[in-house]
């Protein structure tokens, strides 16, 4: 059986994203983390709404 070479690794992408977020929030207080996630959630919803209209 012939094997394929991966051009995209979903698990690697998830790990890199998690690491990037961890580096951003690792020194934040609990309140700062809550504010960070509220802002990111708001921005995500705005992006979703914008892409639905396009």
Spans of all domains in the chain: 29-54
Q: CB neighbours (10 Å) of residue 36?
A: 14
pTM above 0.75? no
Q: Token pair 């995500």 is at which residue?
A: 44
How do residues 1-54 score in pLDDT, each as one tens digit?
Answer: 678 887 899 999 999 999 999 999 999 999 999 999 999 999 999 999 999 887
Residue 18 vs residues 8, 14, 24, 52: alpha-carbon distances, Å: 17, 6, 10, 26
Contacts of 44 (CB under 8 A, 6+ apart): none
- The CA distance from 15 to 23, in Å, is 12
CB-CB contact of 25 with 36 (8 Å): yes
């Amino acid at each position: 059986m012939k094997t394929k070479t991966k051009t995209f690794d979903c698990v690697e992408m998830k790990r890199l994203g998690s690491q990037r977020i961890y580096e951003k929030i690792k020194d934040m207080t609990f309140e700062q983390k809550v504010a960070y996630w509220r802002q990111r959630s708001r921005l995500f919803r705005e992006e979703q709404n914008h892409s639905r209209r396009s």
